[in-house]
Structure 1
Amino acid sequence: MGAHLLGAEDLHLEYPTRVVLDQVTLGVNEGDRIGIVGRNGDGKSSLLGLLAGTITPQDGQVTHRNGLRVGMLSQSDGLNPAESVGHAIVGDRAEYEWAGQARIRDVIAGLVSDLDWHAPIGDLSGGQRRRVELAALLVGEWDLLILDEPTNHLDVEAITWLAGHVTHRWPPNAGGLLVVTHDRWFLDEVCTATWEVHDGIVEPFEGGYAAYVLARVERDRIAAATEAKRQNLMRKELAWLRRGAPARTSKPKFRIEAANALIADVPPVRNPLELQRLAVARLGKDVVDLEDASVSFDGHEVLHEITWRIGPGERAGVLGVNGAGKSTLLGLVSGSLEPTSGRVRRGKTVRIGILDQQFRRLAEIAGDRVREVLARTRTTFRVEGHDLTPAQLLERLGFAHEHLATRVGELSGGQKRRLQILLLLLDEPNVMILDEPTNDVDADMLAALEDLLDSWPGTLIVVSHDRYLVERVTDQQYALLDGRLRHVPGGVDEYLRLRAEEKAAAAASAGATPAAAGSSGVSGAELRAMQKRSRAIERRIDKLTLARQELQEQMAGVEPSDYEALTQLTGQLHAMDAEMAELEERWLELAEQLG
């Protein structure tokens, strides 16, 4: 176990209406990578605020190790709209100061390489601002990083980069990480321990998300009488983790024998043949066909000659960076947008339901109470052979009974999302489009949604940056790359590889600009050679930086009267500085050519 970073003793926090945390005692040590889960409103962000020192408890105390450097990313945006991207990230530091540090270069390349360094923050989208805020935090030197929903607004590439960064940022038994996120792939990839915040307590589990699901199923089995509903849902989740995702179950604390014993009687997550049969019965064989469909806005082509035949019961995930044209593609499928060229055909019986990001449908009923809204819907809904009332279905989605009297406009983001999903299901669409369905949704709610979708017999199209959700509920994945739709049999991993190749090709073509010192074009081999030289320069800069520090320490130990030794060491220092300046200049030239 690493050295102690911070400790909390008997923390008590309450608001006028409820107790958030009661007598919570915990500690964070060097090497800890802790993921924090729990339902929305149960106190995850409050816990982070207490540990960071931004919230004061009514009772108990938090103690930090002397000199502890804590870096925190909150959910609110603290950027100055008038500031430039570059200034927000590196401040007033001269270029040679930060460009010579491999970690800072990596953060900039990983998060903001596509942004204009001189653009004002006020001109950026929400996702771009989030990446700038993350980059500004990660270029700093911290002993403990506290991240509250860092993956919000990030695409699957940026999330993958962030997971790699925090995994390798410190040596294995150094530094500490506390992260609240609903991104279950990220939790599994990064965390070695999980804290569940519930009922005023913080319950620790060893391992990432998969190990936490296993431990929770075991815990719930022991308390089966009170936890029956949650337990059954989590057993299903465990069955999927165990049967479908070997990488997750190779992590520490995932005991395969225990998992097998707990899921011995759990049927497969989905019965694809039965769902296909039901989908054909409800839909017929023709659903939506896109044939050579292109879409242009103001002369700019967003989608190019896309052919996609969507069949009954198909469950497809659509991947792509922000701005790749995903919403445009959904518009073509749903009929809210017509192609500029090509055509779209829809089957006669198609009924399309859309879960959008804006809650447009709920705005019309904002003044109604939830109970009144449910009274106007159909009386029962069939799930896995059982008839449920709308209120029971809403409860199954994690909606508390006491909130049925609340007006729709007064619900929290997560509650609105639950009601929105319920109304969508009650409409009985046979084609469902989910556009970023994980916003405002906690991990338990996602498991409940996935559980309902498992038995839903229709065509499902999901656009999401939540890798876990896409892999969990869809059977095929497609990627939007350069305006074209491409089937990716290898799923998210294949998509990330294709994106890396696309970036390398873009960097190669960028080498043909005047910035590349008159180069008339760069071949793939030349590009790789430039990247190799760039990495070699980075390694040499890192070595020189260490050698310079050692030399300065050596000079500090020399007697002031020993002029000869001081002169010799000063000469070495000047030679190092000259080499460093030359290396940095060469690195910047290469960076410009590589884009």
Structure 2
Amino acid sequence: MSILSTEQVGHSFNDKWLFKGLTFGLQKGDRTALVGINGTGKSTLLKILAGKINPLEGAVVKARDIRIGYLEQDPDFSNLSKVNDFIYNDENEIQQLVLKYETLLNQVNPDKKEFEQVMEEMTIKEAWTYDDNLKTILNRLGITNLSQDISSLSGGQKKRLSLAKLLIDDPDVYILDEPTNHLDIETIEWLEKLLTTGQKTVLLVTHDRYFLDNVCTDIRELHQQAFYAYKGNYSYFLEKKAEREISENSTLEKNRNLLKKELEWMRRQPQARGTKSKSRINAFYDLEEKTKTQNNNAAVELSIKVSRQGSKILEIHNATKSFNQKTIIPSFTYTFKKGDRIGLAGKNGSGKSTLLNLITQQIEPDNGKIIPGETTVYGYYKQGGLNFKSNQRVIDIVKEVAEYITMAKGETITASQLLTHFLFPPEKQFGFVENLSGGEKKRLQLMRVLMQNPNFLILDEPTNDLDIDTLNVLENFLISFPGVLILVSHDRYLIDKLVDQLFIIEPNQPIKIYNGNYSDYRYEEELAKKSQKTTKPQIVAVKEEKNKTKISFKEQKEFNDLEKEIVDLENLLKTKTQALNKTDNHIELISIADEIKELNNKLAIKSERWLELGELI
């Protein structure tokens, strides 16, 4: 039974239908990805399902009392001042209790009686575990200053704050629009585990193909106002989509041949409609429209001339960079070679963008030298996005760079023709940039970078908001790109496919150069961790019964020991609570409160294990 569904939903934008007659449902435990090229209405459909906008046609049906969490591409924080205001919900009793505890804890001289009451209530309502979970999510997403003004946060920080709030609230349905944007790879892997733990219901739009494979159980494709369903992960979807397209191409060819015959019949007949078969005439127009629709299956074309590259490309000699007396880039030396394909790996804030700005000479090193070759032409695609004025049209953005562009084979085309290659038809070329979707703006930004015919290409998170079809075309272009490539991306699939060397950047550490891609690096890391854990030899006797009905001696002993440990913990809690009642020292008060919190957590874990073993016995 569906807990969230659409019935014949349709919506249009700028007098163009994005989709019509869409009907589908989400059942509890479904983890569904919505895919399709930019501009097909994926984000619009998510907003309709989340109740942010109403469809022009059809309806959304929800199960009773269902809670929906929605992560949008650009979160709205209007009427909110501090991070705290957003995280803690006035209507959530547990959250308000945790907030009260944190407020008292941070006071210089908290009211002792009130502090004791709050702590007792935290224990009764099992809020200690909730508090730990809340802090884990916030720390994982890099949100540490809860009193910070939301207005001072960057776009990436706001997106992570919005994601943190959604994960803390743990809704019945997760609706996520590009959840991996602005996350580093380690955090993405953590999010994958979180979303696949328990029977969570998830509907998401993402370009991250590893994330799709690891999280989603089925795919829904929006294509030319229609909906296609695929039960399986992204790899299965690609296989079945290819089969569908082969079938469609075969049907298209048959329709074209039939259309030619019908067109000849239409021309031969007298002009008066009454002398012709109305049903056949209507069938002709239907066939003509169907053929036009099927034929409109264009893809982005990437074919840009690359500037000649000399023997000297770029040399970095002992370059360092610090900000506010904090070292971001320790002394680094590297000489770039022809064909270098380098990925930058490191957590958010580790210094990746600083290194890129040094390489492109947008900032100067504090020490050392950076010497580019005479023929080096940079193409720098930045995270910040496309800069434009509200009254600028798409064609104007392109003409700012050049009116004519040289392609790979030497031919020269106009800015308008290049826009067509990048799937911007005439009606979009003369439309305002602000009306483009997020993915279309990114595609336009990428086009402007490639127009400069670079031979040293730097892509800083190029996959954000690009549709998967465009990503596949970009990958094919980059595979054959003859110049130097530096790639910063949280898209593990893209890094694995395109780079053969990593610069690993960690705070207060020299930049490490690793030969291999990201999967190679993580595999070696895991091996190293395992070898550290198995330094002591262990002898393990393995004997399994097919139908186990009794617990082992070891489990029986654990059960008996837990009974005693639980009693000891409860007695210790009583002692600590009595000590809390006797002290007036603020520092000692906080110390004892932390100990009580830790004891409550241990007691909860041991009690849960004791219950598990009790059920087996």
TM-score normalised by structure 1 residue count: 0.69
Deviation at 1:212, TM superposition (A): 2.0
Instruction: Classify 1:197/1:575 alpha carbon distance in 2 versus 1 (closer, same or farther; 3 Å).
Output: farther
Aligned pair 1:437/2:478, yes or no?
Answer: no
Task: Give me the whole-angstrom Cα distance separating, in 1, the residues matched to 2:598 and 2:383.
Answer: 46
Instruction: Classify 1:196/1:577 alpha carbon distance in 2 versus 1 (closer, same or farther; 3 Å).
Output: farther
Listed as ranges, the matches of 1:244-283 within 5 Å are 282-283=308-309
Aligned to 1:12: 10
Instruction: Classify 1:311/1:371 alpha carbon distance in 2 versus 1 (closer, same or farther; 3 Å).
Output: same
Q: 2:135 aligns with which of 108, 124, 128?
A: 108
Deviates more, 1:482-491 or 1:371-380: 371-380
Q: 1:133 aligns with which of 162, 166, 176?
A: 162
Aligned pair 1:23/2:27, yes or no?
Answer: no
Aligned to 1:515: none
Listed as ranges, the matches of 1:237-316 within 5 Å are 282-316=308-342
Asked if structure 2 preserves the Cα contact closer than 8 Å seen for 1:370 and 1:407, the reply is no
- Name the SS for the 2:214 alignment partner: helix
Task: Give me the whole-angstrom Cα distance separating, in 2, the residues matched to 1:365 and 1:354.
Answer: 24
Aligned to 1:44: 42
Query: Rg bigger for which structure?
Result: 2
Task: Give me the whole-angstrom Cα distance separating, in 2, the residues matched to 1:494 and 1:583.
Answer: 44
Deviation at 1:495, TM superposition (A): 6.0
C-alpha distance after superposition, 1:372-413 (max 9, x if no partner): 945983755444898876545433333234222235566554
- Name the SS for the 2:495 alignment partner: helix
Asked if structure 2 preserves the Cα contact closer than 8 Å seen for 1:86 and 1:117, the reply is no
Task: Give me the whole-angstrom Cα distance separating, in 1, the residues matched to 2:430 and 2:76.
Answer: 36
- Name the SS for the 2:18 alignment partner: strand
Task: Give me the whole-angstrom Cα distance separating, in 2, the residues matched to 1:306 and 1:206.
Answer: 49
Aligned to 2:599: 586
Task: Give me the whole-angstrom Cα distance separating, in 2, the residues matched to 1:111 and 1:497.
Answer: 28
Instruction: Classify 1:86/1:469 alpha carbon distance in 2 versus 1 (closer, same or farther; 3 Å).
Output: same
Asked if structure 1 preserves the Cα contact closer than 8 Å seen for 2:300 and 2:470, the reply is no
Task: Give me the whole-angstrom Cα distance separating, in 1, the residues matched to 2:576 and 2:472.
Answer: 53
Deviation at 1:161, TM superposition (A): 1.2
Asked if structure 1 preserves the Cα contact closer than 8 Å seen for 2:128 and 2:601, the reply is no
Instruction: Classify 1:294/1:410 alpha carbon distance in 2 versus 1 (closer, same or farther; 3 Å).
Output: same
Aligned to 1:208: 233
User: 1:195 corresponds to which letter in structure 2?
Assistant: R
Deviation at 1:370, TM superposition (A): 0.8
Asked if structure 1 preserves the Cα contact closer than 8 Å seen for 2:339 and 2:482, the reply is yes
Instruction: Classify 1:589/1:388 alpha carbon distance in 2 versus 1 (closer, same or farther; 3 Å).
Output: farther
Aligned to 1:152: 181
Task: Give me the whole-angstrom Cα distance separating, in 2, the residues matched to 1:229 and 1:8.
Answer: 27
Task: Give me the whole-angstrom Cα distance separating, in 2, the residues matched to 1:580 and 1:204.
Answer: 58
User: 1:586 corresponds to which letter in structure 2?
Assistant: L
Instruction: Classify 1:20/1:409 alpha carbon distance in 2 versus 1 (closer, same or farther; 3 Å).
Output: closer
Instruction: Classify 1:83/1:301 alpha carbon distance in 2 versus 1 (closer, same or farther; 3 Å).
Output: closer
Q: 1:183 aligns with which of 202, 208, 213?
A: 208
Task: Give me the whole-angstrom Cα distance separating, in 1, the residues matched to 2:54 and 2:487.
Answer: 41
Task: Give me the whole-angstrom Cα distance separating, in 1, the residues matched to 2:400 and 2:82.
Answer: 49
C-alpha distance after superposition, 1:129-180 (max 9, x if no partner): 333322222223433222222223222222221111101x31xxx3421112
User: 1:131 corresponds to which letter in structure 2?
Assistant: R
Listed as ranges, the matches of 1:377-392 within 5 Å are 377=402, 379=404, 381-383=406-408, 390-392=415-417
Aligned pair 1:399/2:424, yes or no?
Answer: yes
Task: Give me the whole-angstrom Cα distance separating, in 2, the residues matched to 1:292 and 1:304.
Answer: 8
User: 1:88 corresponds to which letter in structure 2?
Assistant: Y
User: 2:88 corresponds to which letter in structure 1?
Assistant: A
Deviation at 1:189, TM superposition (A): 1.5
Q: 1:462 aligns with which of 487, 512, 518?
A: 487
Deviation at 1:476, TM superposition (A): 2.3
Aligned-residue Cα RMSD (Å) equals 4.4
Structure 1 residue runs of 5 or longer lacking an equivalent are 237-277, 505-523, 526-542, 548-570, 591-595
Task: Give me the whole-angstrom Cα distance separating, in 2, the residues matched to 1:218 and 1:292.
Answer: 54
Aligned pair 1:166/2:195, yes or no?
Answer: yes
C-alpha distance after superposition, 1:543-574 (max 9, x if no partner): 99xx9xxxxxxxxxxxxxxxxxxxxxxx9xx9
Deviates more, 1:77-86 or 1:481-490: 77-86
Aligned to 1:240: none
Q: 2:244 aligns with which of 207, 219, 228?
A: 219
Aligned to 2:113: none
- Name the SS for the 2:43 alignment partner: helix
Aligned residues: 481
What percentage of residue pairs aligned between the two structures are identical?
32
- Name the SS for the 1:45 alignment partner: helix
- Name the SS for the 1:223 alignment partner: helix
C-alpha distance after superposition, 1:43-74 (max 9, x if no partner): 22222233334433344333233343333223
Aligned to 1:120: 148
Task: Give me the whole-angstrom Cα distance separating, in 2, the residues matched to 1:87 and 1:404.
Answer: 41
Listed as ranges, the matches of 1:18-97 within 5 Å are 18-79=16-77, 80-84=80-84, 87-88=87-88, 91-94=95-98, 96=123, 97=125
User: 2:143 corresponds to which letter in structure 1?
Assistant: L
Task: Give me the whole-angstrom Cα distance separating, in 2, the residues matched to 1:452 and 1:229.
Answer: 22
User: 1:148 corresponds to which letter in structure 2?
Assistant: D
Task: Give me the whole-angstrom Cα distance separating, in 1, the residues matched to 2:392 and 2:26.
Answer: 46
Task: Give me the whole-angstrom Cα distance separating, in 2, the residues matched to 1:74 and 1:8.
Answer: 19
User: 1:101 corresponds to which letter in structure 2?
Assistant: T
Q: 1:349 aligns with which of 355, 364, 375?
A: 375
Task: Give me the whole-angstrom Cα distance separating, in 2, the residues matched to 1:357 and 1:61.
Answer: 37
- Structure of greater relative contact order (alpha carbons < 8 Å, 6+ residues apart): 2
- Name the SS for the 1:101 alignment partner: helix
Instruction: Classify 1:488/1:22 alpha carbon distance in 2 versus 1 (closer, same or farther; 3 Å).
Output: same
Deviation at 1:303, TM superposition (A): 0.5
TM-score normalised by structure 2 residue count: 0.66
Listed as ranges, the matches of 1:470-509 within 5 Å are 470-482=495-507, 483-489=509-515, 491-493=517-519
Asked if structure 1 preserves the Cα contact closer than 8 Å seen for 2:395 and 2:416, the reply is no
Aligned to 1:593: none
Deviates more, 1:334-343 or 1:73-82: 73-82
Asked if structure 1 preserves the Cα contact closer than 8 Å seen for 2:321 and 2:329, the reply is yes
Deviation at 1:459, TM superposition (A): 0.8
Task: Give me the whole-angstrom Cα distance separating, in 1, the residues matched to 2:503 and 2:442.
Answer: 25
- Name the SS for the 1:417 alignment partner: helix
Deviation at 1:435, TM superposition (A): 2.0
Deviation at 1:220, TM superposition (A): 1.7
Asked if structure 2 preserves the Cα contact closer than 8 Å seen for 1:290 and 1:308, the reply is yes
- Name the SS for the 1:109 alignment partner: helix
Asked if structure 2 preserves the Cα contact closer than 8 Å seen for 1:390 and 1:422, the reply is no
Deviation at 1:87, TM superposition (A): 4.9
Instruction: Classify 1:85/1:6 alpha carbon distance in 2 versus 1 (closer, same or farther; 3 Å).
Output: closer
- Name the SS for the 1:161 alignment partner: helix
- Name the SS for the 1:283 alignment partner: coil
Instruction: Classify 1:353/1:364 alpha carbon distance in 2 versus 1 (closer, same or farther; 3 Å).
Output: farther
Task: Give me the whole-angstrom Cα distance separating, in 1, the residues matched to 2:295 and 2:38.
Answer: 21
Deviation at 1:293, TM superposition (A): 1.4
Task: Give me the whole-angstrom Cα distance separating, in 2, the residues matched to 1:479 and 1:232.
Answer: 35
Asked if structure 2 preserves the Cα contact closer than 8 Å seen for 1:479 and 1:495, the reply is no
C-alpha distance after superposition, 1:107-146 (max 9, x if no partner): 6325425533543352443333333322222223433222
Aligned to 2:217: 192
Task: Give me the whole-angstrom Cα distance separating, in 2, the residues matched to 1:166 and 1:206.
Answer: 18
Task: Give me the whole-angstrom Cα distance separating, in 1, the residues matched to 2:433 and 2:177.
Answer: 27
- Name the SS for the 2:166 alignment partner: helix
Instruction: Classify 1:306/1:118 alpha carbon distance in 2 versus 1 (closer, same or farther; 3 Å).
Output: same
- Name the SS for the 2:308 alignment partner: helix
User: 2:318 corresponds to which letter in structure 1?
Assistant: D
